[in-house]
Structure 1
Amino acid sequence: MNPISKQPISDIGYNFIPAAYLPKGKDEYYLRNKQNRSGINYRKLTALEIEVLVRNRNASDNWNNILVSDAFNPELVKNCKFFGLVRIGKLEPYYLEFHSIKLQVGLYNSTIISCDLGDNVVIDSVHYLSHYIIGNEVVITNVHEMGTTNYAKFGNGILKQGEEERIRIWMEVCNENAGRKIIPFNGMLPGDAWLWSRNRDNDALQQKFKEFTELKFDKLRGYYGKVGDRTVIKSCSIIKDVWIGSDAYLKGANKLKNLTINSSAEASSQVGEGCELVNGIMSEGCRAFYGVKAVRFYMASHSQLKYGARLINSYLGNNATISCCEVLNSLIFPAHEQHHNNSFLCAATVMGQSNIAAGATLGSNHNSRSADGELIAGRGFWPGLCVSVKHNTRFASYTLLAKGDYPAELDIPLPFSLVSTDTAHDQLLVMPGYWFMYNMYALARNAWKYIDRDQRIDKTQYLEYDFLAPDSINEVINSLELLEKYTGKALLKLSKDKKLIDADYIKAGKKALLNNEVPDDLEITADGFENSKRKVLLLKVKKSYILFKELVDYYAAEQVLQFIATNKLKSTDDLFGKLPKKQKRAAWVNVGGQLIPAAELDKLKQRISTGKIKNWDTVHAFYRTQAQQYPHQKLTHALSAFYEVTGLSKLDKSNLKDLLQNYLYTKTWMVDGIASSRAKDYTNPFRKMVYETEAEMEGVTGKLKENSFILQQQEELNTTKATVQKVIKQFKL
């Protein structure tokens, strides 16, 4: 039986805060008065104004509880019912126009219960508007129900007075079994979500994160919903316990419940037709439209959900787009794209700059004994069409998965790899360095694209978009040893020495690779990449080994050149005196898209656990500090990597010149690779066959010689050449 109770009409609009939760000496409006910062001076209605309101078919339970500003015009209020304390700002004879819709300022055909209305608002055909503070020049029209409860939390995972722990809203990210669940809160950054989802063996740290979140809010009941200035809400069905910022646009939504929708004049948020959003937070500049369903979710700034997408128990990072598909129990770092039909992502941590293709099924727990598997993908993860993988699976940075079914768990440690399955020979194929060999255009353009599309206003976390950075370079260096080991194993396969260990294989493989003594027909296999008995074949090992060593040099040279430019150094004495001394290469961690040295992160966690850090604001200050220190940390890491791979102990005039010349050589073939990989699209006969003439093809795809990105890269190369020559001359190298 539905719990419908009968109460006196005179109670409508009053006793919003239950007596048990009303502080001594306070009335039910004390929080409302604190929230309302409009600065409007209210007065009671005059007898004439009441007469006009009654004539215009308005009704109130108590006209003395209708307070208005001096510029109130009663002729602009028609056919409305008022209950409780209602405060109304200016109503002047204007109309508000938005997207060709023109609506007269005023209150019409609505039921308004205990609300504060700003200046020159339009409230028209709102069947039920209860306990909201409305800003100036707001339009709300054709809304069925819009109300706030006394225990509203606006999407934050907090508890109000008298509520039990069991009703707290958690987001069960990364794992379907809720073992990595986190509490959403307004202002949560990707790094916060990642930190909280990890470290499950540190109970003190986990408890501190919960305390930090509860400190951001109080447990008091009685907060009103808010609608910021110039927000437009039209043709929505149910809006309940929703806090809405300024300049937002809500149209045609089915149900919006327990939400914060952050929005501002600089970054307007939108919710469109058919959307159902429950228990979530949208940051500035977000958009959700065309049938989106989202439950227990967080959308970081400038992210989008569209075309029927479903986002459940998931965190979506900044500047990300999900459409036409289903994402469950996932933590997604910034710059993620998943915009094709029927792709499925579940129980995953995807570390940004990723692109999920149509038909991809990433993370089905139906092939394991319990729903507790996970997928972890480093930056630049690109699974191809109709890929399916099994939990648990882990991928290094910039892994490209070719179309196919991968029947066993994968652990791919080699970055920039193409991974494919050879069903004819029942083997897994891994080609390290694929992107640099065959698709330099896509790799470089994506790095540029993510920077260009970063619309964040709050850049507390510095997001790394370069494909060569501390995380990927560490993987490159680790890969060098792996390639040496697997090459050595292949070379010594027929050795009679039964006591060979990894160090022997590495020594033999390194010697052969450095001296170009690896036979072209040598079959090099790897172990530990796939949880199966089938062969894992490594392709183009010699080429990728040389390539990876070049990348380390390139990374170091680029950081040195940036250091010279930033500090305006004029001589080698200046440079060598200020460069970091040789250090051991440090481990780095991708913390929500921001790369942070592991040692610094450990210090942070220790300070949180011991109570030295007391709130999320201080954690965010740590992110900002790390962002400021990042250029120097990156330089130190680059030199450490260079010294480790080359065996050098320091930079001097001779090896600095070699480093810069090698950098130019690598930069040149990279730019040539950008142009040549794109040129394939213009020479491939199968791509050309759909066009009658070459002119038609150029009319559709654009002229290769006019490709703006290629031209930009070539111009950058010319600038780099001039810069390097200037340094060599100025430093007398």
Structure 2
Amino acid sequence: MVSISYFENSNLKFEFPNDVKENKRPLTKEEISILEKNLNKNEQADWSNVLVSSIPGEFDPELIHNTHFSGFVVLGRLKKGILKYHDLELVIGIYNSSIGDVVTKDDVVISNVRYLRNYRIGNRVILFNIQEMSCTNHAKFGNGWLKGEEPESHRVWIGVGNENDNRAVLPFESLIPADAYIWSRRRADKKLMERLVELTEQGNTKKLDTYGIVEDEAVIKNTTLLKDAKIGSCAYIKGAFKLKNITVLSSAEEESQIGEGVELVNGIMGYGSHIFYQAVAVRFVIGRNCQLKYGARLLNSILGDNSTVSCCELLNNLIFPFHEQHHNSSFLIATTMMGQSNIAAGATIGSNHNSRSPDGEIIAGRGFWPGLCSDFKHNSKFASFVLVAKGSYQHELNITYPFSLVAFRAESEPVHIIPAYWFLFNMFAIARNKFKFKKRDKRVIKVQHIETDPLAPDAMQEVLIAVDRLILLTRDYLKKIGEESVMQAASDAEELQAAKDYLHKNTEADFTLFDELAQKKYGATIFKPVKAYKEYRKILKYFAARSIVDYCKSNGYPKFSREVLKHMEKISLFDRWQNVGGQIIPALKVDQLCEKIKDGTINTWDEVHAYYDSCVKNYELYKTRYALYILERLYSRSILEFDSDIWQDIVDDVTIVSTDMYRDSIYSRRKDYTDPFRAMTYENQEEMTAVLGTLDDNDFLHILRAQTESFNLDLRVILGV
């Protein structure tokens, strides 16, 4: 309903905020005369509601034309000049606009802004061709706060991970995926949930005195509606349709941009991010250096740093950094994606539920890569770096084998799994992964710590679990075929040891295993278990040896000696790890963080982030101690009992893995230049070279070669006996 208020010629009430009066003065009669001559109008007949710069020569009334003033208006320096941004050049001043309750700093352009209310405008800002730009006194700018006496129902939550909103988190400017992960996964801890709300409310006065903000050197043009918006410095907004209750974080070092047809409601956009071409986001937090474009729909989701999303639909997701999803026919619903993921065209993740309510969810470890036209049934869970072949997976999956390939056979049959597939057939991807993501990380300030190495403690603990699982399933298989060594075992432990011995001794054995827990109802067939077991052990040794070598080098130890070992054994051992928003943290440290929040030791989100920083500082130490633990697990004895033969075995196996990474990378790339089916679209070798370049042009391979040679040398020197 539209209301109406009549008033006579008498002046309306207004009040200047106390913080804007410094170095300001009222208009002179001569200035008022010039303003009125230039077709400017004011609700206050005496123009007493306008203050301008008190510094002589800093206010030129000739730079204001055909503008309506209301409420209070406080203007900074207005001197004749031109502001230029790309090909847009405008004369400094205020033209053809309606402004009220507005404060500007120096050298701004406000042109063709039909309705501008309750905003603070920074230095050298351009506002051009805007239909409506207003801010209410209870604006929250996308944060999950409450103002005044607002009821709890007015609070904006983001329902990540599950469509029933029972994993919802509150958005705030400094939110990172690590915060959202802890908040969304520890729902049974009611005290923690209460405290996280309190942390989010820190600094919120609840006063109904809010005003919109456009910081220095921002440019907003050809935009329909901005309401309750906070726009960071150097942001560029062009042709946006609707921006409501949002914060756009931006700086000179990390400029954010919003383009044509974009609609953003109830959310926060991170530094250096770009949103273009009819993209829509509602109830969201978008991290640093992200792209949302080509009609993408992001709803009730948190998108981690360095992610690119276009054309698709994402609903109720918590997505860690480095997520790629580029296809119009794909959608992602009710998931927690733990980063470095790539969703192929036609993937419909979230289309099937296992109950009558849409309350299912999917959790996928780092490096999740489903194939074309894949769909999965909720609930499903995937270990790190699982590659899923094209298929319609009609039953719930629990894939506990990291670096595996999962393939669909038939609806009423076991799925096929090749554990350690990446190590057996795609070592190039492992070697390139860390290099690729570091190169793509354009963030200037890195609040969210991101582990880009596939061979990190989170994945290695999954490898250990997979190794134990292969031994257990092999035991079951050997009992089924009547293998003598297993049948004669006197205990469960002896049976497992016999199965382990069998895997070690029969390196060429070719059989399959059955894992009933990998898929509901029909289970999974495990292919190449002997090779997978061998590759898993090799990669565990590689991780452990590399961690020890890195530790020795960074601490100035020329050799891994008993003295160094004794020092390392004093480091706390953490044998359980969590991927917290992209940062790998010991599970016990996450527990301790939650306790500190609950007991009041930690009271702000800045202090939470400082805690993450402290974990990063000790990450190498914790990782190195974990490396010793892995070696002890592999050889079933204390590291102090390792003899020269064991160390030589480690050096030999790790050298093979390191060398294979480089050789397989060369082989994988060389195929692109020697495969006749690859070459058949080119008339000759010269044309192919012009289009593809040469193998020698690959910077990564040059870097990998140098790193491999250096590591193999360090390995022999530091761990050699």
Tell me which interval the TM-score lies in, with the shorter structure as reference length.
Answer: over 0.9
SS in 1 for 2:267: strand
How far residue 413 of structure 1 moved from its aligned partner, in angstroms, is: 0.2
Counterpart position of 1:514: 504
CA distance, structure 1, for counterparts of residue 22 and residue 444 of structure 2: 30
Of 42, 49, 57, which residue of structure 1 is paired with 2:39? Answer: 57
Of 597, 602, 606, which residue of structure 1 is paired with 2:586? Answer: 597
Deviations 1:69-96 (A, max 9, x none): 1301111111111112101111111111
Of 92, 108, 129, which residue of structure 2 is paired with 1:105? Answer: 92
Counterpart position of 1:681: 672
- Amino acid of the residue matched to residue 241 of structure 2? N
CA distance, structure 2, for counterparts of residue 653 and residue 532 of structure 1: 47
User: CA separation of 1:397/1:281 partners in 2, compared to 1, >3 Å: closer, same or farther?
Assistant: same
Of 185, 188, 207, which residue of structure 2 is paired with 1:198? Answer: 185
How far residue 461 of structure 1 moved from its aligned partner, in angstroms, is: 3.6
* Contact 1:582–1:650, Cα closer than 8 Å, also in 2: no
Q: Does 1:626 align with 2:615?
A: yes
- Amino acid of the residue matched to residue 651 of structure 2? L
SS in 1 for 2:618: helix
- Amino acid of the residue matched to residue 649 of structure 1? S
Counterpart position of 1:23: none
Percentage identity across paired residues of the two chains: 43
- Amino acid of the residue matched to residue 223 of structure 1? T
CA distance, structure 1, for counterparts of residue 8 and residue 307 of structure 2: 48
How far residue 508 of structure 1 moved from its aligned partner, in angstroms, is: 3.4
CA distance, structure 2, for counterparts of residue 326 and residue 502 of structure 1: 49
Of 617, 628, 631, which residue of structure 2 is paired with 1:642? Answer: 631
TM-score (norm 2): 0.94
Deviations 1:129-161 (A, max 9, x none): 111000010000000000100111110111111
How far residue 519 of structure 1 moved from its aligned partner, in angstroms, is: 3.4
* Contact 1:12–1:84, Cα closer than 8 Å, also in 2: no
TM-score (norm 1): 0.93
Of 363, 366, 373, which residue of structure 2 is paired with 1:376? Answer: 363
Of 260, 272, 279, which residue of structure 1 is paired with 2:259? Answer: 272
How far residue 507 of structure 1 moved from its aligned partner, in angstroms, is: 3.0
How far residue 709 of structure 1 moved from its aligned partner, in angstroms, is: 1.4
Matching of residues 516-595 of structure 1 within 5 Å = 516=506, 519-520=509-510, 522-533=511-522, 536-571=524-559, 572=561, 574-580=563-569, 586-595=575-584
How far residue 337 of structure 1 moved from its aligned partner, in angstroms, is: 0.8
Matching of residues 370-519 of structure 1 within 5 Å = 370-423=357-410, 426-495=413-482, 503=493, 506-516=496-506, 519=509
CA distance, structure 2, for counterparts of residue 436 and residue 359 of structure 1: 27
CA distance, structure 2, for counterparts of residue 284 and residue 330 of structure 1: 20
Q: Does 1:302 align with 2:289?
A: yes
User: Which shifted more, 622-631 or 710-719?
Assistant: 710-719
CA distance, structure 1, for counterparts of residue 542 and residue 94 of structure 2: 66
How far residue 511 of structure 1 moved from its aligned partner, in angstroms, is: 1.6
- Amino acid of the residue matched to residue 724 of structure 1? L
- Amino acid of the residue matched to residue 500 of structure 2? K
CA distance, structure 1, for counterparts of residue 396 and residue 193 of structure 2: 29
Counterpart position of 1:47: 29
SS in 2 for 1:115: strand
How far residue 615 of structure 1 moved from its aligned partner, in angstroms, is: 2.3
- Amino acid of the residue matched to residue 131 of structure 2? H
CA distance, structure 2, for counterparts of residue 189 and residue 67 of structure 1: 41
- Amino acid of the residue matched to residue 402 of structure 1? A
RMSD: 2.3
Counterpart position of 2:116: 129
Of 659, 662, 670, which residue of structure 2 is paired with 1:671? Answer: 662
User: CA separation of 1:250/1:584 partners in 2, compared to 1, >3 Å: closer, same or farther?
Assistant: closer
How far residue 494 of structure 1 moved from its aligned partner, in angstroms, is: 3.9
* Contact 1:417–1:430, Cα closer than 8 Å, also in 2: yes
User: Which shifted more, 249-258 or 477-486?
Assistant: 477-486
CA distance, structure 2, for counterparts of residue 146 and residue 221 of structure 1: 19
Counterpart position of 1:6: 5
CA distance, structure 1, for counterparts of residue 104 and residue 345 of structure 2: 47
User: CA separation of 1:14/1:238 partners in 2, compared to 1, >3 Å: closer, same or farther?
Assistant: farther
Deviations 1:457-511 (A, max 9, x none): 3333421110111110001111111111112212211449799996565333212
CA distance, structure 2, for counterparts of residue 9 and residue 459 of structure 1: 57
SS in 1 for 2:84: strand
CA distance, structure 1, for counterparts of residue 414 and residue 61 of structure 2: 80
Count of residue correspondences:
710
Counterpart position of 1:67: 51
- Amino acid of the residue matched to residue 39 of structure 2? R
* Contact 1:460–1:623, Cα closer than 8 Å, also in 2: no
SS in 1 for 2:385: coil
CA distance, structure 1, for counterparts of residue 121 and residue 647 of structure 2: 64
* Contact 2:248–2:256, Cα closer than 8 Å, also in 1: yes
How far residue 552 of structure 1 moved from its aligned partner, in angstroms, is: 1.1
Counterpart position of 1:92: 79
* Contact 1:585–1:640, Cα closer than 8 Å, also in 2: no
Of 328, 336, 344, which residue of structure 1 is paired with 2:323? Answer: 336
SS in 2 for 1:446: helix
CA distance, structure 2, for counterparts of residue 437 and residue 636 of structure 1: 28
CA distance, structure 1, for counterparts of residue 360 and residue 477 of structure 2: 33
User: CA separation of 1:212/1:660 partners in 2, compared to 1, >3 Å: closer, same or farther?
Assistant: same
CA distance, structure 2, for counterparts of residue 337 and residue 14 of structure 1: 54
Deviations 1:253-308 (A, max 9, x none): 00000001111011011111000000000121111110011000001111121111
CA distance, structure 1, for counterparts of residue 10 and residue 308 of structure 2: 46
CA distance, structure 2, for counterparts of residue 494 and residue 442 of structure 1: 37
User: CA separation of 1:186/1:424 partners in 2, compared to 1, >3 Å: closer, same or farther?
Assistant: closer
User: CA separation of 1:383/1:52 partners in 2, compared to 1, >3 Å: closer, same or farther?
Assistant: same
* Contact 2:571–2:622, Cα closer than 8 Å, also in 1: no
Counterpart position of 2:213: 226
How far residue 564 of structure 1 moved from its aligned partner, in angstroms, is: 1.4
Q: Does 1:210 align with 2:172?
A: no
SS in 2 for 1:358: coil
Counterpart position of 1:691: 682
How far residue 579 of structure 1 moved from its aligned partner, in angstroms, is: 2.1
User: Which shifted more, 270-279 or 3-12?
Assistant: 3-12
Counterpart position of 2:598: 609
Of 275, 286, 292, which residue of structure 1 is paired with 2:279? Answer: 292
Structure 2's unaligned 5+ residue stretches are none
How far residue 10 of structure 1 moved from its aligned partner, in angstroms, is: 7.8
CA distance, structure 2, for counterparts of residue 385 and residue 171 of structure 1: 29
Counterpart position of 2:311: 324
Matching of residues 107-256 of structure 1 within 5 Å = 107-256=94-243
User: CA separation of 1:548/1:583 partners in 2, compared to 1, >3 Å: closer, same or farther?
Assistant: farther
How far residue 198 of structure 1 moved from its aligned partner, in angstroms, is: 1.1
SS in 2 for 1:267: coil
CA distance, structure 1, for counterparts of residue 270 and residue 465 of structure 2: 38
CA distance, structure 2, for counterparts of residue 4 and residue 322 of structure 1: 43
User: Which shifted more, 169-178 or 596-605?
Assistant: 596-605
CA distance, structure 2, for counterparts of residue 309 and residue 675 of structure 1: 37
* Contact 2:102–2:118, Cα closer than 8 Å, also in 1: yes
How far residue 209 of structure 1 moved from its aligned partner, in angstroms, is: 0.6
